[in-house]
C-alpha cells in the first residue's frame, strides 16, 4: 500500500463521514458546514484523480457559490440555534432499510459487472487548453452547442430567480421601506418610482 492509496482512502473516509454528519445533524447551520467540508473533500478526490480543472470548478462553484447561497438562505429563514425536529423512529428505520437495500443492490451490480481491475497503460492528463479547445470547437466532437445552451440556461435561471424572489408590492398599499425620504408617509409605489426617476434625473 503506497502513499497514493492511503490518501485515497483517507479522502474517501473524510467525504463519507462529513456527508453522513451533514444529513444527520440536528442543527441546520452545522449541517451546511458539514456539507461544505464534504464538497471540499470531493474536490480533493478530483485533485487525486489529476483533473485539476474540475477540482477548481468544484471549489469555485460549490464551496464559493452554492454553500454560501445555502448559508444565506438559512440566515433568512431560520432562527439561530433552533434545532430541527427529530424524524419519527418509523421513518428513520424504513429509510435506513431502503437505503441499505438500494446500496447493496447497486454495489452488487457494480461488483458483478467485471470492470477491469487494472488501469489502462495510457496516462490520463487533462490540460486546461485541451478542455478549452474542445469546449469551443464547432467541428465534430466539439462542445460549443451544449456550451451555448447551458449558458442560456444559466441566464434564464438567473432572471427567473430575480423574478421569483422579487418582493411584489400590491397596488394602493404603502410600502414598508420607502426608497426616498420624499414618500416617507404613505406614498404609493408609483410615486416612489416617479420620485426615484426624478432623483435620477437630478443626479444625472
Partner 1 sequence: MSAIPLTHILFVTTALFFIGMYGLFTRRNLITMLMSIELILNSVNINFVAFNKYLYPDKLNGVFFSLFIITVAAAEAAVAIAIIINLYRSHRSIDVEDTTEMRF
Least distance to partner 1, CB of residue 167, Å: 7
Long-range contacts of 186-192 (CB under 8 A, 24+ apart): none
Instruction: Find, among 133, 157, 161, the residue nearest to 147 by Cα.
Output: 133
Cβ-based neighbours of 22, under 8 Å, separated by 6 or more: 31, 32, 34, 35, 38
Q: How far apart are CA 198 and CA 204, in angstroms?
A: 10
Please identify, using beta-carbon distances, which residue of 120 and 138 lies nearer to partner 1.
120
Q: Which three cell numbers stand for residue 133?
A: 479547445
Least distance to partner 1, CB of residue 183, Å: 23
Least distance to partner 1, CB of residue 60, Å: 9
Least distance to partner 1, CB of residue 132, Å: 11
Please identify, using beta-carbon distances, which residue of 69 and 184 lies nearer to partner 1.
69
Please identify, using beta-carbon distances, which residue of 104 and 199 lies nearer to partner 1.
104
Q: How far apart are CA 73 and CA 139, in angstroms?
A: 43
Least distance to partner 1, CB of residue 200, Å: 27
Instruction: Find, among 170, 153, 169, the residue nearest to 161 by Cα.
Output: 153
Please identify, using beta-carbon distances, which residue of 142 and 174 lies nearer to partner 1.
142
Count the helices and strands in the chain (H runs, E runs).
8, 0
Please identify, using beta-carbon distances, which residue of 165 and 201 lies nearer to partner 1.
165
Q: How far apart are the first and last CA of the chain?
A: 70
Amino acid at each position: 500500500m503506497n502513499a497514493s492509496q492511503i490518501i485515497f482512502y483517507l479522502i474517501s473516509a473524510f467525504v463519507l463521514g462529513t456527508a453522513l454528519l451533514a444529513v444527520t445533524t440536528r442543527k441546520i447551520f452545522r449541517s451546511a458546514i458539514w456539507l461544505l467540508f464534504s464538497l471540499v473533500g470531493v474536490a480533493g478526490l478530483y485533485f487525486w484523480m489529476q483533473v485539476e480543472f474540475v477540482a477548481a470548478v468544484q471549489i469555485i462553484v460549490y464551496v464559493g457559490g452554492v454553500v454560501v447561497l445555502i448559508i444565506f438562505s438559512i440566515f433568512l429563514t431560520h432562527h439561530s440555534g433552533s434545532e430541527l425536529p427529530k424524524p419519527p423512529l418509523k421513518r428513520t428505520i424504513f429509510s435506513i432499510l431502503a437505503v441499505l437495500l438500494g446500496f447493496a443492490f447497486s454495489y452488487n451490480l457494480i461488483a458483478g459487472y467485471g470492470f477491469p481491475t487494472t488501469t489502462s497503460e495510457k496516462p490520463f492528463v487533462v490540460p486546461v487548453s485541451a478542455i478549452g479547445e474542445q469546449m469551443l470547437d464547432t467541428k465534430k466532437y466539439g462542445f460549443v452547442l451544449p456550451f451555448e445552451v447551458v449558458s442560456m440556461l444559466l441566464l434564464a435561471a438567473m432572471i427567473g430567480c430575480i423574478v421569483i424572489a422579487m418582493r411584489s408590492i400590491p397596488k394602493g398599499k404603502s410600502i414598508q421601506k420607502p426608497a426616498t425620504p420624499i414618500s416617507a408617509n404613505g406614498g404609493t409605489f408609483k410615486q416612489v418610482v416617479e420620485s426615484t426617476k426624478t432623483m435620477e434625473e437630478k443626479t444625472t
